[in-house]
Amino acid sequence: MVRIDRKVIVFILGFFISALIFSQEKQVGPVEKLREEILAVYQAKGESGLREFFKKSKNRISNKFIVDFAEAGVNERKEEWLKACEIMAEEKRDEKTLADVYYKIGTYFLFITDFKKAFEYYENSLPLYVRINDLVGKGNIFLKEGTIYYYKGDGAKALEMFEKALPFYTKTNDHLGQGNYYFRKAEYYFNISDNIKALEMYEKALVFLERQKDMLNKVIFYGVKEIFMQIRENTQKHLNCMTQHFLFLKKKNITLV
């Protein structure tokens, strides 16, 4: 039987269960032009200049545009883009938009391991989600804060936050949220060498993630399925499958975080 280095599996697993985004093909047309225009103003005139520009151009700048722009900032690791989105969301005065932008900025800082700033932005986002009764938004905040505690080594607090997230996903029948909840718990149990419990969590996660239709979640599903098979069967064959999976993602320019 081939012995698999636990550190290798944990490293690979970390990529998959943290994967919330992947690179998009560069947008063309009016959206890209508007983004470039906004960034040019921000770079030349700073925050006050961007606020003035927004007031004059707000009919062209929708809530969705701002949130999508922030998502692109996370994907491309562009803090300047995210700051511009934060300014525009504040000017827009729409609580859902502002909450989503704060959430995405928090995720950016989580990805670059600035946990203090990540937590601050998540905490800014939470009361907005509470006010507008966005259940999935609240669940996402608790799950992300649990992830911060997990990476800081506080497993007990991480599990507490994960458990706070689940009822919101269950109530809304949010399959992605439920899948991610079980992912995080599987990661926790695997890290403390409780493989039986980890496999139980993986199996539950796969039930939910297999229902996802979009490209990103299919990537996550098949990647985690390979990890599941690797742990269960402990064979070099499936480790090789995971290696091929990473090569495929690289070839397709898909970034897992």
Contact present, 257 and 17 (Cβ < 8 Å): no
Q: Which has more pLDDT, 30 or 52?
A: 52
Q: Could you tell me the pLDDT band of residue 21, with boundaries at 50, 70 and 90?
A: very low
Q: Domains in the chain and their CATH numbers?
A: 6-251 (1.25.40.10)
Please state the separation of Cα 177 from the chain's center in Å: 11
pLDDT at 148: 96
pLDDT at 224: 63
Q: Could you tell me the pLDDT band of residue 225, with boundaries at 50, 70 and 90?
A: low
Average pLDDT over residues 221-236: 61
For the question of whether the overall pTM of this predicted structure is more than 0.85, the answer is: no
pLDDT at 77: 94
Q: Could you tell me the pLDDT band of residue 23, with boundaries at 50, 70 and 90?
A: very low
Q: Could you tell me the pLDDT band of residue 20, with boundaries at 50, 70 and 90?
A: very low
Number of residues assigned to the chain: 257
pLDDT per residue as tens digits for the range 58-84: 999 999 999 999 999 999 999 999 999
Say how far apart CA 254 and CA 79 lie, in whole Å: 20
